[in-house]
Amino acid sequence: MVARMPFEGAEFRAVFEGAPDAFLIVDPKGVVVAANDEAERLFQYSAADLVGDSVERLVPAPSRGRHAGLRGAYSADPTKRPMGMGRELFARRADGRLVPVEIGLSPVDTEHGRYILAVIHDITERRRLRAFGSGVLQGAEEERQRIARELHDDTAQSLAALVLRLQMARRSDDVDKREQMLRELHEEIHRASDGVRRILRGLRPPLLEESGLVTALRAHAKSVLVESTLKLTFDAAEVDHHLSRDARLAVYRIVQEAVSNILRHAQATRIVIRLSEEDDVVKLDIEDDGVGFDPEHAEAIEGRGLGLLGLMERAAIIGGVARVESSPGEGTRVSVRIPVAGRP
DSSP-derived secondary structure for 191-231: HHHHHHHHHHHHHS-HHHHHT-HHHHHHHHHHHHHTTS--E
Q: What ranges do the domains of the chain cover? A: 10-122, 124-203, 207-344
Report pLDDT digits (tens) over 78-128. Answer: 777 777 555 778 889 998 888 888 888 888 877 777 888 888 888 877 776
Is there a common fold for 10-122 and 207-344? no
pLDDT band at 10 (very low <50, low <70, confident <90, very high): low
User: Average of pLDDT values for 313-323?
Assistant: 87
What CATH code would you report for 10-122?
3.30.450.20
User: Average of pLDDT values for 171-183?
Assistant: 83
What CATH code would you report for 207-344?
3.30.565.10
pTM of the model: 0.50
Rounded to 10 degrees, the C-alpha dihedral 183/185/189/194 comes to 70
Residue type at 227 in one-letter notation: E
Q: Which residues lie below 8 Å from residue 58, measured CB to CB, with a gap of 6+?
A: 43, 50, 91, 92
Percent of the chain with pLDDT over 90: 21
